[in-house]
Amino acid sequence: YVLPTMRRLVVGGFYQGQGEAWFDDLQLTGPASNAEPAAAVRRYLNLVADITHAHSLVKDSVDWPATQRTMLALARGLQTPAESYPVVDYLLSVLARYGDHHSMFYTPARMQANQVSASAAGAAAALAPSARYLGDGLACVALPSFGSTNPERAQAFAEQVQALIRQLDTEHAITGWVLDLRANNGGNMYPMLAGVGPLLGEGTVGYFVSAGQEQAIGYRAGEAYAGSSGHGWRVAQPYQLRRPGSPVAVLVGPRTASSGEVTAMAFIGRPAARLFGQPTGGYTSANRPYKLPDGAGLLLAVMTEADRTHQLHLGPLVPDEAVPPAPAGSSADPALQAASAWLHQQAPADASGQRKP
C-alpha cells in the first residue's frame, strides 16, 4: 500500500553489531490483496489504536480518523495479528512525526527474550557498575544500563553501586565525585537512582508530568520512588557520604538515554552539580507497558519529565559545559578532564586558602 502523498520510496538495509552486511537481488513483490482484513486483525489493530489514542503523549496531535483508515488499508488481506505487526510499526512512525521517538512495539518473541534477559543468566551478562579513585580527592562512578525489573536483581544492583561509593568514600578523603552516564542507554531507573542516592541526597529529584499533573520522583532511606510509594525493596544499609552535598560532575553523551537521562536529570538543580559532555539521546519521556492478547507488548510514551526545579525537558539534555569528544584513536577523555578541573575549583579551602584534597 502506497500513501497518496508519497513522492519517493527509499529502500535500505539495517544491521546491528560488528562486521559487514551486503544486500543485493532486491525484488518488488506483486500488489497487496484488496480483501478485507480478517476480523481478528481488525480487533487487534483497533485495540492498539484505542490504547494509543487514549494514552499516547502526542495523542492530541495525531489525525486519528486518517491514521486508522491508513492502518486498515495496510491490513488488507491479512489473516492473523502476527501479520499485522508492520501496521503497528506504521502507527509508531506516525507518533514519531510528532516527536515521540521513545514508544516501542515488542513482538511475543521479543517480550520472551526480555524476560530471559531479566533472569539470572541475563543479569550475569549485564554490564556491572564500576568505580575508581582518580587521585587528588576525586572519585568516579560509572553507572551502566540496567534493564531488569526483577526486585532481587534491582536491589542487588543498587546495593552494588552504594557499596562502591561507600568503599571509595571510606578509603579516601573524597571532595568531589564524577558520575559517568555516557554508556547508560536506559532500562529500570529505580535501581539506578537508589544506587546513586548518596550522591543525590534525600528528597525529590524530579517529576513525571502528565496532563499538567506532577508525580514526584525521589530518593529516601535507600529507596527510589515515584509518587507516594516505592517498589517494595530498598538498599538494606543505605550509605551517607562523609561530606554530604559534595560536588558532583555528571558526564553525559548521545548514548545517555531514557532512564540514563532521568538519572542525569535528577542532578539538574542540585546544588554543586554540573553536567559535562555532549547532548543526550533525547528520550526524555516515561514509557508504560501495555500487554496485547497475543503476548506482544506496546511500550508507550505517556508522560514527560521535569527536573527538581519543575523545568520540563523535551528532547536531549544539553550539558552545562559542552565538551567535544576525543579524536578517534585517542585515549584522552576531555569530558572527564573538564569535570575534574571544575571539581577542583569546588574543593573546600583550608585556613591558609589552599585547596584541601
Compare 11 and 262 and report the one with higher pLDDT.
Answer: 262
Per-residue pLDDT at 257 exceeds 90:
yes
When pLDDT is cut at 50, 70 and 90, the band that residue 17 belongs to is low
Q: What are phi and psi of 39, to 5 degrees?
A: -60, -35
Per-residue pLDDT at 353 exceeds 60:
no
130 alpha-carbon distance from chain centroid: 19
CA dist 195 and 160 (Å) reads 7
Per-residue pLDDT at 159 exceeds 80:
yes
Q: What are phi and psi of 268, to 5 degrees?
A: -70, 125
Q: Region 322-348: what's the mean pLDDT?
A: 92
Q: What are phi and psi of 69, to 5 degrees?
A: -65, -40
What's the angle, vertex CA 272, arms to CA 271 and CA 278, rounded to 5? Answer: 110
- If 0-12 CB within 10 Å is exposed, 13-18 middle and 19+ buried, where does residue 229 land? exposed
Q: How many Cβ atoms are within 10 Å of 273's Cβ, its own excluded?
A: 23
When pLDDT is cut at 50, 70 and 90, the band that residue 349 belongs to is very low
The H helix count followed by the E strand count for the chain is: 10, 13
Task: Enumerate the domain spans of the chain.
Answer: 39-100, 126-283+302-346
- Spatial CA neighbour of 102 closest among 300, 288, 260: 300
The CATH-assigned architecture of domain 126-283+302-346 is Alpha-Beta Complex (3.90)
**How do residues 201-230 score in pLDDT, each as one tens digit?**
999 999 999 888 999 999 999 999 998 777
Per the CB < 8 A criterion, the answer to whether 293 and 47 are in contact is yes
**How do residues 97-139 score in pLDDT, each as one tens digit?**
999 999 999 999 888 776 655 544 444 445 799 999 999 999 9
Sign of CA dihedral 261, 264, 266, 270: negative
